[in-house]
Structure 1
Amino acid sequence: MNIVQPIRDAEVIKEIKAYLKETNERNYILFLLGINTGLRIKDILKLRVRDVEGWSIHLREGKTKKIKEVWMPSELKKEIRAYCKDKHKNEFLFKSRQGKNKAISVSMAYYILRDIGEEFGQERIGCHSLRKTYGYHFYKQHGDVVALQEMLNHSDQKITLRYIGIRQDDLNKLQKKFKI
């Protein structure tokens, strides 16, 4: 099993955003949505233009079947507004080139993210990396594991810390200091 990691370096995130904004608007918005909302990739790919018209996204999560509301930060909202400007309300946000109005597949999203990871020297990047990146930076900014646990729908704080890579960071620091 391949365990993917969050993108921990804020400078790398900034570089990826600049690169994607320049090269592929759809992939740029996909990346932004993932790192700013913490939604699962399957839920992101189901979004249509009408779902992101307001300041928050309301959806029923595919995995947990729970109703969820996610507020969009102003940078994300500004970019989504520009991206959706000439799109029909029923159009998928991340349209595939195949079919009339069909979303890209999870495997296509994986290839997009894997290519981004390779381009920027990030190992072990996949679809969950966006969600984990959100969680990692949310925790680093706010230090509120309880709120993050609730946002990610985890049953335990330990699961949340392991999921976002904080526990591994702590173990790595301890290991670096270890001597016999």
Structure 2
Amino acid sequence: MEAVDPIKSITQIKQMKAILKKSSMRDHLLFVFGINTGIRIHRLLHLKVEDISKDGKVYEYIDLFETTSEKKQSYFINPILKNTLESYLEATAFSSKDYLFPTNVFRK
């Protein structure tokens, strides 16, 4: 497996956001969520709408529990991420029980 270096340049981050925004709202939100919270993609893919909002209001913080230690980790939803989440939720017709990032791949 090849090592992948993180994107460190603000210019590269802006370019990536622009490319993803044009191609897929879902992928754009995944990227914005990841770079603003540091949550790994595997954890993000398991989020449900109810984990990040209630009655159309995006939470200021989300709490996730570590699967091995059961410790709670809180993540701040900054204004950039909040705006992106609100736009995404307005454009989709998800219920609170739906995955935030639906995929065509079968989940076990």
- TM tier, shorter chain? 0.7 to 0.9
CA distance in 1, matches of 2:65, 2:96: 19
82, 87, 91: which one aligns with 2:94: 87
Q: 1:63 to 1:16 in 2, by over 3 A?
A: farther
CA distance in 1, matches of 2:42, 2:68: 9
- What 5-or-longer segments of structure 2 have no aligned partner? 54-58
Q: 1:98 to 1:44 in 2, by over 3 A?
A: closer
Correspondence for 1:72: 77
SS in structure 2 opposite 1:58? strand
- What 5-or-longer segments of structure 1 have no aligned partner? 106-180
Give CA-to-partner distance per residue, 1:21-53, whole Å, 9 cap, x none: 111111000111110001122211110111111
- 1:26-175 aligned within 5 A: 26-53=26-53, 54-62=59-67, 64-85=69-90, 86-98=93-105
TM superposition score normalised by structure 2: 0.82
Correspondence for 1:160: none
Q: 1:45 to 1:64 in 2, by over 3 A?
A: farther
SS in structure 2 opposite 1:88? coil
- Answer yes or no: is the 8 Å Cα contact 1:42–1:62 preserved in 2: no
Give CA-to-partner distance per residue, 1:124-162, whole Å, 9 cap, x none: xxxxxxxxxxxxxxxxxxxxxxxxxxxxxxxxxxxxxxx
Q: Which has the larger radius of gyration?
A: 1
Give the root-mean-square deviation of aligned CA atoms. Answer: 2.0
**1:22 maps to amino acid:** K
More helix by share: 1
CA distance in 1, matches of 2:43, 2:67: 6
TM superposition score normalised by structure 1: 0.51
- Answer yes or no: is the 8 Å Cα contact 1:20–1:28 preserved in 2: yes
Correspondence for 2:16: 16
SS in structure 1 opposite 2:8? coil
CA distance in 1, matches of 2:31, 2:71: 23
More strand by share: 2
